[in-house]
Copies of this chain bind each other. A is one copy, B any other.
Amino acid sequence: MMRECLENVRKSVPLVHNITNYVTVNDVANVILACGGSPIMSDEAEDVEDITSVCGGLNINIGTLHKTSIEGMFRAGRKAGELGHPILLDPVGAGASALRTDTALGLMKELKLTAIRGNISEIKTLAMGSGTTKGVDADVADAVTEETLDEAVEFVKRFASTAGCIIAVTGAIDLVSDGEKCYVIRNGRPEMGKITGTGCQLSGMMAAYLTANPQDSLEAAAAAVCVMGLAGEIGWSRMQEGDGNSTYRNRIIDAIYNMTGNELEKGAVYELR
């Protein structure tokens, strides 16, 4: 199944419209190309509807919000909704500022999101802010570890169910749920956190996977998470003495570029709960 998700991206070359932050945008574009998609970036409110109309999916990332691009996010999202395109939201920094939290919650409320991908802290912020959690849920730990796994799976499932979209929480252990099933993924390496934007890169790739696999959104989202983690492992295995986070960034993108369906099937480490 993951193999097919990967191969569908390479076969269909999904065109992904990205409204994303200027910190990691170049890497996001190169990752989308590496996995087999094609990226277009546009955030100007007067430009986004035309651009989203020629694309197949939309990736919204609030990493460096501007008042003007917020309008672009809503306009693009509404148009993508009309066209039935998958929409992914990456709520970067939700919880760190009111503007980010409010914008993410507003996008959740107004748009037909297909998936939200963030770290546990960002996802908790959205769960609490949107009133979709109660009691015990809000107490989920701030890191997903073997010790906190059970409650985290429960939290993610419940939030996915009430939010009505796929929730992907990435960290030491990654969780991807549609409210019924939850992928628990153990690919990746801690050193990926020393590269800026591996999360943004994953969101861009996940948008491409969702676009190319409209009938299997949950599997597509999980496959993208496995590709990113596995690329982190393969990239690390190619590191040489003296290499650091800049070379590691290149090696991860290179590994995504070269990854085959076979490699993914063999390397993906996950269980379904």
Q: What residues of chain B lie closer than 8 Å to A234, measured between beta carbons?
A: 242
Q: With both chains docked as a complex, state the minimum distance between the C-beta of A69 and any C-beta of chain B, in angstroms.
A: 9
Residue from A21, A23, A93 whose CB has the most chain B CB atoms within 10 Å = A23
For the complex formed by this chain, how many copies does it contain in all? 3
Q: Pick the contact of A250 from B22, B66, B250, B252 — CB < 8 Å?
A: B250
Cβ proximity bits A245-273 to B, threshold 8 Å, 1 near / 0 not: 11101111111111000000000000000
Q: Is the CB of A196 within 8 A of B42?
A: no
Q: How far is the CA of A111 from the CA of B54 in the complex (A)?
A: 29
Q: Pick the contact of A64 from B24, B41, B63, B250 — CB < 8 Å?
A: B41
Q: With both chains docked as a complex, state the minimum distance between the C-beta of A235 and any C-beta of chain B, in angstroms.
A: 9
Q: Is A68 an interface position by the 8 A CB rule?
A: yes
Interface of A is mostly: helix
Q: Pick the contact of A195 from B30, B67, B243 — CB < 8 Å?
A: B30
Q: What residues of chain B lie closer than 8 Å to A257, measured between beta carbons?
A: 194, 244-246
Cβ proximity bits A79-122 to B, threshold 8 Å, 1 near / 0 not: 00000000000000100111110000000000000000000000
Q: Is A150 an interface position by the 8 A CB rule?
A: no
Chain B: CB-nearest residue to A242:
B238
**Chain A: number of interface residues, binned into ranges:** 35 or more
Q: Is the CB of A26 within 8 A of B243?
A: no
Stretch at the interface among A1-9, A32-40, A206-214: A32-40
Known A-B contacts A194-B34, A253-B246; the reply to A44 vs B67 at CB < 8 A is yes
Q: Pick the contact of A245 from B34, B67, B249 — CB < 8 Å?
A: B34
Q: How far is the CA of A196 from the CA of B26 in the complex (A)?
A: 7
Q: Is the CB of B44 within 8 A of A23?
A: no
Known A-B contacts A47-B99, A195-B30, A244-B254; the reply to A41 vs B21 at CB < 8 A is yes
Chain B: CB-nearest residue to A239:
B254
Q: What residues of chain B lie closer than 8 Å to A64, measured between beta carbons?
A: 41-44
Cβ proximity bits A186-209 to B, threshold 8 Å, 1 near / 0 not: 000000001111000000000000
Q: Is the CB of A26 within 8 A of B197?
A: yes
Q: What residues of chain B lie closer than 8 Å to A46, measured between beta carbons?
A: 67, 99
Q: Is A29 an interface position by the 8 A CB rule?
A: yes
Q: Is A141 an interface position by the 8 A CB rule?
A: no
Give me 8 A-to-B residue pairs in the complex whose CB atoms sit less than 8 angstroms apart, sorted by A's number.
Answer: A21-B41, A26-B26, A33-B196, A33-B245, A47-B65, A50-B100, A246-B251, A250-B250
The 6 closest A-B pairs by CB, nearest first: A244-B257, A244-B254, A50-B97, A246-B253, A29-B196, A246-B250
